[in-house]
Structure 1
Amino acid sequence: MAPSPLRAAIIGTGRIASLLERDPLRARPHTHAGWYAADPRTTLVAGCDTDASRLASFGEDWSVEPAHLYDDHRTMLARERPDVVSVCAYAADRVAMCRDAVAAGARGLWIEKAVACSVEDADALARELDAAGVSAVVDYPRRLEPRYRAVGACLEAGTLGRLESVHVLFSGHIVHTGTHAWDLLLAWCGPWTRVDASLDTPAHEAAASGDAHELDEADAARYATALAGGGIVDRGGRARIVFANGVEAFVTGGAKGYFVFQCDLICSRGRVRIGNDVWEVLAPADSPRYSGYRELAPVDDPLAALPPTPPGPGAVLDALLQAVGGAGTADLSVRAAADALALGIAIMQAGLTGCTVTPATLDRSLRVLSV
């Protein structure tokens, strides 16, 4: 007899939790609720949000009865006793909500990024989850995409020679959006040794459009309350990161009039451009302009040009369910997410102080508030 589906509940029913499923341009499933509804191993039983209209839309979209919709997550956890919990509320609240879910008996957590507002808090959460025996994944879906996995295998095999530098471009803020880049850079380049950075000014932030996340009145009130508790506001900026293996990363991230997320990897025998809107592998070929020279030319089938990658989970939810079943999730673990957060915090610290930051000088208590 097949085991009963795990009962899932969601805290915070906004974009990544539910609303992006309405976007006709997005592949489905694409949200926490979408994956729970599509996977026979789970059943979505409840949701919580302080925004009444957003919560009502969630209930309509996923056929969750009003009796199972809550404006207080502790009440939901106490009454529903879910097996797995998605924590999709703002970063300032995530660690406390994770702790509440563990106390209510949850066996697994699907946590949005960034996992916390400070490295200190992320480290503490990782220790507490280990001690409680609770499985958790942090939402870094690029880790599971075949293109990004193939790039990692390419770098490990040296297919395009030695990685020399990475150029990172994104719209958004250093911690909220940039955390995806920091996770990838750590996977590709290993540990970092130093960071220098400059941050966008408030005037620049005000003049440029954001990363397509607009706060409504209820969101703004919660964010203001979190800010009053201490910390600094997430911002855009530019950074130079040096890794222990000698690779350097150059970062341009911040508010722009368009949406973009791209990485350009420069290797000694080739180049890879990868992002939301680009996928290109370039390798040496005879130059069409200069006799006797070789230039870079696009490879017709980029994935075929890179080493095959071992089969992996098809979604973050699959990784969580494997973890609940006893399989490891090192790539998506809270500890890995804490490392990505640490690099983002280091960039913010370097920009704020005007000083180079190293792992030894990183302020692990520095709180950066992001959505």
Structure 2
Amino acid sequence: MNTPLYRIAFIGCGRRAHEHAAGVKADGRCEVVALSDLSTESSERLNAEFGFTGNIYTDHKEMLAKEKPDVVLICLWTPLHLPVFRDCAEAGVKAVLCEKPMSATWGECQEMGRIAEANGCQLTFSLQRRFAKGNQTVRRLIKEGKIGQVVRMDLYSPPNLLDCGIHTFDQAISYMDETPAKWVLGAVDTTETYNWFNVPSECGASGRIVFANGVQANLVSGEMDTWDPAAGDATKTWAGVRVHGTEGFIEVMWDGQIIRGVNYKDPSWTPEMELSSMTDQMEGYVRHAIDCLGTGEEPEVSHAKALRASEIIFAVYESVRRNARVELPLADVTDSPFITMLENGQFAK
């Protein structure tokens, strides 16, 4: 029985495309037939580095029409995700693996989900840290009750929430078996504003999140005053989650590095450390997405799961706009409240 081959195409061939390409290269079911980028040099470089023989285009619509790929990897800046995904879905692409974050506004995030469901196109986002061995271990330990019942979380992220916080929120949600948030109270720091991939952002944020299962979480995003990399202090979590249970706690970095774990009844217990590289994670991401294309099951990083994490981000921003806590699901919001407030000059200099 022959292994099925999926026709693969890349839209966007920059640095992140190379990380996605490692996952594609490792999966024997994938055949790269085309690459699209405004820079022909970038496409040629991706072809050469991974031994692909894809046809090169500068117009992704022309590529979709001529090559008819089964699977497309979108590795573009954030504002391009929605329009390019729409083009893929309308062209009959079976699955799209898109770079995170979803989009710059909550309405656009929801629209991506609507298009995926309306067209039967499997849409996933590169929240590849779910495939880190350490994160898989933590999920297992929590299910086994190693720290008892989860009651609280401390969430840490570099700036900014849209690009970085989504990893932290997704990590936390995955530890609670996909439980969504119930309400959010947030604040943002605009001492400085950044522009990441053509989307303006805050330099820091904080807040309180209560999940539907009653777990309460404290959020810290931005510069960590308690962490000094120059001093070699590796015991502080600057990107990840500390999970507090009734019988212990586990502190985990984004990529699954377990900083420490404590079981109150068994002081000798030490959680096993399992590290995985970005390449390992991307291989797991691509392999799982291709698997799900065949089985029809919901992917580990489906658009529905990305929406849960994204909703928290925009709820933090909406809380700032309302000066009040925000109940979820997030209703009557289609913009990015942060961008709207910034453009309206509502943040003090």
Deviation at 1:131, TM superposition (A): 2.8
Deviation at 1:300, TM superposition (A): 5.8
Question: 1:174 is matched with which residue?
Answer: 161
Q: CA contact under 8 A between 1:273 and 1:281: conserved in structure 2?
A: yes
Deviation at 1:113, TM superposition (A): 1.5
For structure 1, the 5+ residue unaligned runs are 19-30, 214-218, 287-295, 304-312
One-letter code aligned to 1:299: T
Equivalent-residue separation in structure 1 for 2:61 and 2:147 (angstroms): 51
Aligned residues: 317
Q: CA contact under 8 A between 1:59 and 1:69: conserved in structure 2?
A: no
Equivalent-residue separation in structure 1 for 2:112 and 2:271 (angstroms): 45
One-letter code aligned to 1:354: N
Equivalent-residue separation in structure 2 for 1:125 and 1:360 (angstroms): 17
Match of 1:38 among 23, 26, 38: 26
One-letter code aligned to 1:117: A
SS at match of 1:172: coil
Question: 1:263 is matched with which residue?
Answer: 241
Q: Per the alignment, do residues 244 and 38 of structure 1 end up closer, same or farther by CA in structure 2, a change over 3 Å counting?
A: closer
Equivalent-residue separation in structure 1 for 2:222 and 2:301 (angstroms): 25
Q: CA contact under 8 A between 2:149 and 2:246: conserved in structure 1?
A: yes
What per-residue deviation string (whole Å, max 9, x for no partner) do you get for residues 173-202 of structure 1?
Answer: 10111111111222334222221111121x
SS at match of 2:31: strand
What per-residue deviation string (whole Å, max 9, x for no partner) do you get for residues 45-99 of structure 1?
Answer: 222223455334323323456x822222212222222110011112211121111
Misfit runs of 4+, over 4 Å: 255-260, 360-363
Equivalent-residue separation in structure 1 for 2:283 and 2:25 (angstroms): 15
Deviation at 1:132, TM superposition (A): 2.0
Task: Name which of structure 1's ranges 257-266 and 336-345 shifts more when overlaid on structure 2.
Answer: 257-266
| Correspondence list, 1:126-275, <5 A | 126-189=113-176, 190-201=179-190, 203-205=191-193, 223=198, 233=201, 235-254=203-222, 260-275=238-253
Question: 1:301 is matched with which residue?
Answer: 272
Q: CA contact under 8 A between 1:85 and 1:101: conserved in structure 2?
A: yes
Identity of paired residues, percent? 22
Q: Per the alignment, do residues 298 and 236 of structure 1 end up closer, same or farther by CA in structure 2, a change over 3 Å counting?
A: farther
Question: 1:278 is matched with which residue?
Answer: 257
For structure 2, the 5+ residue unaligned runs are 230-236, 275-281, 340-349
One-letter code aligned to 2:187: S
What per-residue deviation string (whole Å, max 9, x for no partner) do you get for residues 127-158 of structure 1?
Answer: 33223222222222222333223322333343
Q: Per the alignment, do residues 365 and 7 of structure 1 end up closer, same or farther by CA in structure 2, a change over 3 Å counting?
A: same
Q: Per the alignment, do residues 143 and 185 of structure 1 end up closer, same or farther by CA in structure 2, a change over 3 Å counting?
A: same
Equivalent-residue separation in structure 2 for 1:47 and 1:34 (angstroms): 15
Q: Per the alignment, do residues 273 and 117 of structure 1 end up closer, same or farther by CA in structure 2, a change over 3 Å counting?
A: same
Q: CA contact under 8 A between 1:13 and 1:54: conserved in structure 2?
A: yes
What per-residue deviation string (whole Å, max 9, x for no partner) do you get for residues 229-276 of structure 1?
Answer: xxx646531121112322111111125796942211111211101113
Coordinate RMSD, CA, aligned: 2.9
What per-residue deviation string (whole Å, max 9, x for no partner) do you get for residues 275-307 of structure 1?
Answer: 137313222268xxxxxxxxx56616368xxxx
Q: CA contact under 8 A between 2:292 and 2:299: conserved in structure 1?
A: no
Question: 1:318 is matched with which residue?
Answer: 287
Q: Per the alignment, do residues 300 and 134 of structure 1 end up closer, same or farther by CA in structure 2, a change over 3 Å counting?
A: closer
